[in-house]
Amino acid sequence: MPTSSEPRFVAAGQNGNYAVSAEHLTKSYELGELASLQRTISAVANRLLNRGDRPRGYPAVNDVTFTIAPGECFAVVGANGSGKSTLSRLIAGITLPTSGFVNVRGRVLPLLSVAAAFHPELNGRENVELFGTIIGLNRDEIAAATAEIAAFSGIDDEHLATPTKRFSEGMQARLAFAIALRLPADVYIFDEVLVVADDAFKDACAAEIKALADRGRSVIFISHELPLVRAICTRGLWIDGGRLRMVGPIDEVVSAYVASRGTDEAATE
Amino acid sequence: MRSTSEANRPVSAVDPATAEQGSTTGGVPLVQTVAPASRRVRLRDIVRSWPVARVISIRDYKVQYKQSALGPIWLVIQPLAVLAAFTVVFDSVAQVDTSGIPYPLFALVGVTVWTFTSFSIPAGARSQIANKRIIRYVDCPRIAFVTASIVASLPMLAAPLVLTVASVYLTGYHLTLNVLALPLAIAWLLLLIWAITLGLSAANVRYRDVNSVVPFLLQGGLFLTPLAYPLSAVPAGLALALSFNPFTGVVEVWRWALLGTSVDMTAVAIGLTVTAVLVVAGWQVFTRMEVRFADLI
């Protein structure tokens, strides 16, 4: 997000042809309990003793620069805790960076967790409306997509009129994916969400993700399933401890990542 | 906050033809910059985020009475129960002077204001926490959650208000021309609730202490607001002190509008000033903290 002194939206075009462009993107988090009696007491004590109370920051994403082109399926690979999810939150504008910036062209549709924006008491159709409205679609756009969402998810009308808390996890995943794939956006982010889907639905989703890219949309695909990553994506980046290790063609990035894991595992054995 | 901005014109995922058009003509999707900022919410976001507030408030209202046997009948039971308690204590035991107005009718106005207040403030203070998942997983206009919590609470204002107006006629009274000012009295109450919940909802994201403070404030407010007794029945010094509770002025104006009682202009002036201060403070707290909601919640 820009500061209030800058325009929130600037016309596209002068900065080259990109869908997502991150420059020196850095995000630090505070460690430990944010508020606790212990922390309050130590803060008061520090104030009285004239010592600074600076909680230690932990850089989850550290000086990351990359560009994603329109129509590109872009992978983000890395071990657990390497900063993949923080990166996706930054691109989606959910959280702001500590320094650096990321430019995103058009509407972002983040699917960062299955059933992330689902309200368990609302039925399938109401949840489609809720999610669609939150990402900024109007009623006509949502209505147009609803029938396709039902068709793609394979969830019948009766189930769509049932609170999603009574959906099985698999069915919630189908609905979430159908919503994400059928609502119109320019940049899609899928963060480790295909794990719960069955193989047939996974294949269907993979095909749909590629189809999105064929239509000029950009997809950011975050996954530990490397064969799936190779099948879907054309380029990608490897992030390790918050730092960018490599960005380039998907085969090179995945190979390097796999090789490093191999040596790490060998080293620990 | 990109959600409801008309400046953000994405291409359609359904129709490849528009996608072509979108990338080559005037319909080019605009660029949003995600960069460090101390605040990003603007006043116009309150209006722009209305579609989100609408959907969330409908959701909250629906959820409220799910799996409830009496459902919306509670809207009437709750104020009547408080009214009964007030009548026992202040009419039968303490016998306050309401200048000729039947006590239940007199107290019903205060009950109306407080039913809404005691429902909407906790709901508003929880509004960000309650939408935690949305905050963590989607970039959404978070100010809409505050708007939504107030809109979803409006039946708690409407039901006792209808009850009050009906009671005015049932007891043989009638509304005076003062009632024309009722929209302003309602607007004042809503603005006050908005300012308070804006600040509390943001503070709650970082300090859950808010959840401990709110019930305690409301309990105090029940007695330290002239709901069950007229401000004129209070000794002058204490009345001045009570006037710094902005709800005192609100209730005075409400009773003046509905029952034609006299109004303490000092209380109204102080109440309006305190409200203005709370609006500015609530806005500052909210906008300053909003940028970190997803990190802190």
Bigger pLDDT: A233 or A265? Answer: A233
| Mean pLDDT in order along chain B per 10 residues (297 residues) | 39 36 44 91 92 90 78 86 90 82 93 96 95 90 95 94 94 90 97 98 93 94 94 93 97 95 94 98 96 89
B139 chain-A contacts, CB cut-off 8 A: 92-94, 108, 110
Confidence of residue A269 (pLDDT cuts 50, 70, 90): very low
Say what the pLDDT of residue A117 is: 64
Q: How far is A263 from chain B (nearest CA, A)?
A: 34
| Residue showing tokens 């990351």 | A64
Chain A's closest residue to B67, CA to CA, is A121
Chain B interface disruption, residue of A39, A85, A95, most B CBs within 10 A: A95
- Least CA distance to A36: which residue of chain B? B207
Q: CA–CA distance from A252 to each of A87, A187, A210, B63, B251 (Å)?
A: 21, 24, 20, 50, 71
Does the beta-carbon distance from A106 to B16 stay under 8 Å?
no
Cα distance from B264 to chain A (closest Cα, Å)? 41
d(CA A197, CA A203): 9
Partner-chain contact B137 A94, CB within 8 Å: yes
Q: In this structure, what token pair is assigned to residue B136?
A: 């963590």
Instruction: Write out the two tokens for A239.
Output: 């992030």
If residue B193 lies in a helix (H) or strand (E), which one and from where to where?
helix B182-206
Both tokens of A29, joined, read 């988090």
Q: Taking the model in full, what pTM does it have?
A: 0.85
Do residues B207 and A35 make contact, with C-beta atoms less than 8 angstroms apart? yes
Pairing state between β A99-105 and B31-34: antiparallel
Rounded Cα distance between A91 and A189, Å, is 9
More confident residue, A267 or A184: A184
Cβ within 8 Å, pair A1-B34: yes
Q: What is the mean pLDDT of residues A201-210?
A: 89
A185 part of contact set with chain B, CB < 8 Å = yes
Amino acid identity of residue B173, one-letter, is: Y
> From the CA of A81, how many Å to the nearest CA of chain B?
16
Residue A7 has pLDDT above 50, yes or no: no
**Chain A hits for B51, Cβ within 8 Å:** 133, 138-139
Is A112 near chain B, with CB under 8 Å?
A: yes
Q: Predicted confidence band at A52 (pLDDT cuts at 50, 70, 90)?
A: low
Residues of B whose CB is below 8 A from A70 = 23
Map out the domains of chain B as residue ranges: 1-35, 41-296
pLDDT band (50, 70, 90) for residue A265: low
A217 interfaces chain B, CB cutoff of 8 Å: yes
Do B13 and A183 make contact, defined as CB atoms within 8 angstroms? yes
What's the CATH superfamily of A20-30+61-268? P-loop containing nucleotide triphosphate hydrolases (3.40.50.300)
Domain ranges across chain A:
20-30+61-268
Hey, which residues 140-169 in chain B have their CB within 8 Å of chain A? Answer: 140
Tell me if B14 and A104 make a contact (CB, 8 A cut-off).
no
Element (H, E) at B212: helix B209-224
- Give the C-alpha separation, B230 to B236, whole Å: 12
Q: What is the pLDDT of residue A54?
A: 61
Answer whether A177 touches B (CB < 8 Å).
no
Cβ distance A214 to A206 under 8 Å?
no
Nearest chain B CA: its distance from A254 CA (Å): 27
Q: Does B216 touch chain A (CB under 8 A)?
A: no
> Average pLDDT of chain A?
85
* Residue in chain B lying closest to A141 (CA): B12
Q: How far does B277 lie from chain A, in Å, by closest CA? A: 22
* Mean pLDDT of the A85-104 span: 94
Residue scoring higher pLDDT (B62 or A244): A244
Query: What pLDDT, in 10s, does the model give residues A78-94?
Result: 999 899 999 999 999 99
Cβ neighbours, 10 Å, residue B79: 22
Q: Higher-confidence residue: B17 or A262?
A: A262
CB B146 within 8 A of CB B110: no
Q: What is the pLDDT of residues B119-168, one digit of tens each?
A: 999 999 999 999 998 999 998 899 999 999 999 999 999 999 999 999 99
Tokens of B65: 């009475």
Size of interface A-B (CB pairs under 8 A): 202
Tell me which of B35 and A113 has the higher pLDDT.
B35
Instruction: Please state the φ and ψ torsions of residue A221, each to the nearest 5 degrees.
Output: -120, 115
- Phi/psi for B183 (5° steps) reads -55, -35
Cα separation, B146 vs B196, in Å, equals 10
Contact between residue A56 and residue A14 where contact means Cβ atoms under 8 Å apart = no
Neighbours of A132 (CB within 10 A): 26
Kindly report the nearest CA distance between residue B97 and chain A, in angstroms: 47
